[in-house]
Structure 1
């Protein structure tokens, strides 16, 4: 798969899978032996099932989630995605119980591909901004 092809899958992961809940696309986009390193330490499944659990968790915490990819940088088999997340905090998120408050923050993801499928995913969300927005952490 080309660098541009990997970037397109990365973009579609956010625009179609996260925004519209099209979990069936994970069968195409994610290798069965993939690793979502963001969630593995939380006791979630590995492989494609872990991606599905991550998606379900996010969409239950923020049911009206909307992501916007603001930049993609790629080299070889890796794509770095800069993205914005917006929505309403309706379920447990980073240890904070639902508040009904809006969230608006940025994240950076590193996605590694093999043969046109995601084999590793790591996201670094701006948790502090989100936790401040929902009142779980006091503003400085």
Structure 2
């Protein structure tokens, strides 16, 4: 079933691509003409996704993304995940602090032909920025 394939790709996106840094898997997982939801946090396309991943790994070189739950139907997967790491490079305009982050995020991933064509992520920015000392708790 394609739903099971989509859930497997979504899980592997976080466990293997984000956590392990296996960017080569993006060639298989992400469509060349993919988009980043309505926010446009990264440039569209597979290369934009690759650039976003590289920036994240520069900000948090020891990043760990743990999938805590997946909900899927038809061509969509909602991923509930936890992000952890040490802030070693600029993140959302905040210079490196050396502090650790531990927060949750929710992503909506849309597939076509078993590849990601749209990716929208809603990180808990307030928690992360608080942990970095950028905003008052």
CA distance in 2, matches of 1:12, 1:34: 18
CA distance in 1, matches of 2:39, 2:27: 19
Give the match for residue 122 of structure 1.
120
CA distance in 1, matches of 2:70, 2:6: 10
Report the TM-score, using the length of structure 2 for normalisation: 0.96
Q: Residue 80 of structure 1: which of 74, 78, 84 is its match?
A: 78
Segments of structure 2 that go 5 or more residues without pairing to the other structure are none
Aligned CA distance change for structure 1 residues 38 and 50 (closer, same or farther; 3 Å)? farther
Segments of structure 1 that go 5 or more residues without pairing to the other structure are none
TM superposition outliers: structure 1 runs of 4+ over 3 Å:
none
Give the match for residue 90 of structure 1.
88
Matched position secondary structure for 2:32? strand
Give the deviation of 1:21 after TM superposition. 0.6
CA distance in 2, matches of 1:85, 1:98: 17
Matched position secondary structure for 1:54? helix
CA distance in 1, matches of 2:116, 2:20: 19
Report the TM-score, using the length of structure 1 for normalisation: 0.94
Give the deviation of 1:38 after TM superposition. 6.6
Q: How many residues align?
A: 137
Q: Residue 97 of structure 2: which of 96, 99, 103 is its match?
A: 99
